[in-house]
Amino acid sequence: MHIPKDFSECEILKFKDALKEEQSIEKDYDSKRWLYVPCRYSEYRYILGTKGKNPLICIGINPSTAEPDNLDNTLKSVERLAAFNGYDSFIMFNVYPQRATDPNDMSKELNEKLHTENMQAFEYILSLCEGHTPSIWAAWGTIIEKRPYLKDCVRSMIEIGERYNAKWYTLGTKSKSKGHPHHPLYLKKDTVAEEFCDIMDYLNNL
C-alpha cells in the first residue's frame, strides 16, 4: 500500500540524474535484466521494465508498489502479454509518475516539474527501440478520468511519439461508453495487440 506524500515535502530527482544513478551504482537486483528509474523506492517512478531491443511499452496511469523482482499482478500480466505478442522485453511507463496504490490519492493538480521529467523519461524509452518502430500499448482503462490533467499528459506523449514514428496499440475490448483501452489485469494470456488508430479522436471526446 502506498499513500502519496505532498510533493512539497520531497525532492524531485531529474530524470537524467536518476538515470545516471541507475547506470552507475551497485543495486540489489540484476541490472542486466531490469531497467528501474529511479533505482530505489520513492514517491515517484519513471520506468520499470526489462531490457531488450524491441520492448512493448505499456502505459498505465500511475505506478503503485511494483519493483524489480517484485511485480504486482498487473505487471505480471504485462510481461506475459509482451512475450506472447513477440516482444523481447517490456517497459511499464505511466501517464503520471506519482506512486499511489489508490488513484484517488493522486495529486489534484499537475506538478509541472514531475510531468516534464516524466516526458524526458518517455523520450528515452522510445530511443531504446533499436531498429524497431516503438510499440506503445495504451492500457489505462477508465482511470484516465480520475484527473483532468491526465489526458493532456497523453497528448504530450503522442507528440513525442510522432518524432519516433511510434505506433499505439490496445489489447482487449475497449469500453462501450467512451472507448477507454482495456487495463492489463484480467486479459487472457493470448490476447493479440491491435493498432489504436483513433487515439486522438478518443482523447478529444473525453
Give the model confidence (pLDDT) of 152-163 as tens digits. 999 999 999 999
Omega before 38 within 30 of 0, i.e. cis? yes
Give the model confidence (pLDDT) of 2-27 as tens digits. 887 877 667 899 999 999 999 999 99
Alpha-carbon distance of 31 to 50, in angstroms, equals 9
Q: What is the 3-state secondary structure (H, E, C) of the chain?
A: CCCCCCHHHCCCCCHHHHHHHHHHCCCCCCCCCEEEECCCCCCECCEEEECCCCEEEEEECCCCCCECCECCHHHHHHHHHHHHCCCCEEEEEECCCECCCCHHHCCCCCCHHHHHHHHHHHHHHHHCCCCCCCEEEECCHHHHHHCCCHHHHHHHHHHHHHHCCCEEEEECCCCCCCCCCCCCCCCCCCCCEEECCCHHHHHHCC
Q: What is the pLDDT of residue 37?
A: 98
Q: What is the pLDDT of residue 1?
A: 86
Q: What is the pLDDT of residue 9?
A: 65
Averaged pLDDT for residues 180-192: 96
Q: What is the pLDDT of residue 54?
A: 95
Give the model confidence (pLDDT) of 100-141 as tens digits. 999 999 999 999 999 999 999 999 999 998 889 999 999 999
Q: What is the pLDDT of residue 10?
A: 76
Q: What is the pLDDT of residue 6?
A: 74
201 band by pLDDT with thresholds 50, 70 and 90: very high
All three cell numbers of 9, joined, read 515535502
Give the model confidence (pLDDT) of 55-96 as tens digits. 999 999 999 999 999 999 999 999 999 999 999 999 999 999
Q: What is the pLDDT of residue 2?
A: 83
Q: What is the pLDDT of residue 59?
A: 98
